[in-house]
A and B are shown apart, each in its own frame.
Chain A
Amino acid sequence: NAGVMQNPRHLVRRRGQEARLRCSPMKGHSHVYWYRQLPEEGLKFMVYLQKENIIDESGMPKERFSAEFPKEGPSILRIQQVVRGDSAAYFCASSLGRQLDTQYFGPGTRLTVL
């Protein structure tokens, strides 16, 4: 049973470009969460999605950031017009969504903005 998959593992972008981060949840999981980890910090919640629905995006910056989890395919975290402050590790987690379930994390995508 494959775990949570994220790609790419490393992404380099220049300021002003777009970054697309992909997350495939564990088999059978329909709930996806995105977290951001800045250097020397813990993970910070960004957004919680279910298939075709954004449940909670209270941790997402108001501009340039968007997320989706379509009926088919992976969840996408999209950052438009990246700035140096967007450099971080972005982690995706998935769960079955039941109250007792645990979030299982992917290996993360390390975004570097030049």
Chain B
Amino acid sequence: AQTVTQSQPEMSVQEAETVTLSCTYDTSESDYYLFWYKQPPSRQMILVIRQEAYKQQNATENRFSVNFQKAAKSFSLKISDSQLGDAAMYFCAYRILQGGSEKLVFGKGTKLTVNP
């Protein structure tokens, strides 16, 4: 069964500093998609970044980038120049395509605090 593990329930970072959130996953598939979603106190789920497994190049979106290690099944999120608005829960997700169906499997999340 596909599982997603986020081993850091909470993290904190100083404003303007860099922080890395960890995520590992388990799958027997060779082609798949990985995502990071942000959930601020409003509880809206906001897509931060996505990575296709067949792409060797790590995805980047402005201050957000990933370190995708396919062999190690690791997909960490790096936030550079952290801002107060980055404070939120961050969820790593794996996309399953199976028998005509499609779903996301989420980790339990990492709560990120940004200190001024």
Measuring CB to CB, which residues of chain A are less than 8 angstroms from any residue of chain B?
A: 31, 33, 35, 40-45, 48, 55-56, 58-59, 89, 91, 93, 95, 99-100, 102-105, 107-108, 110
Contact = CB atoms under 8 A, between A and B. Distances in A.
Contacts, number: 59
A33 to B, nearest CB: 7
Contact of A48 (B45, B47, B52, B102): B102
Interface of A is mostly: strand
Interface of B is mostly: strand
Given A42-B108, A102-B35, 16 more contacts: A31-B102, A33-B103, A41-B109, A42-B91, A42-B106, A43-B45, A45-B105, A91-B45, A93-B45, A93-B104, A95-B102, A105-B37, A105-B45, A105-B46, A107-B44, A108-B44
Contacts of A107: 42-44
A55 B106 contact: no
Contacts of B108: 40-42
Contacts of A48: 101-103
Contacts of A44: 106
Contacts of A31: 102
Interface of B: 4, 35, 37, 42-47, 50, 52, 91, 97, 100-109
21 contacts: A31-B102, A33-B103, A33-B104, A35-B106, A40-B108, A41-B108, A42-B4, A42-B91, A44-B106, A45-B105, A56-B102, A89-B43, A93-B45, A93-B104, A95-B102, A99-B97, A100-B52, A102-B47, A105-B37, A105-B46, A108-B43
Contacts of B100: 55-56
B88 to A, nearest CB: 14
B15 to A, nearest CB: 26
A75 B18 CA distance: 41
A6 B43 CA distance: 13
Given A91-B45, A107-B43, A110-B43, A43 B102 contact: no
B50 A102 contact: yes
A35 B4 CA distance: 16
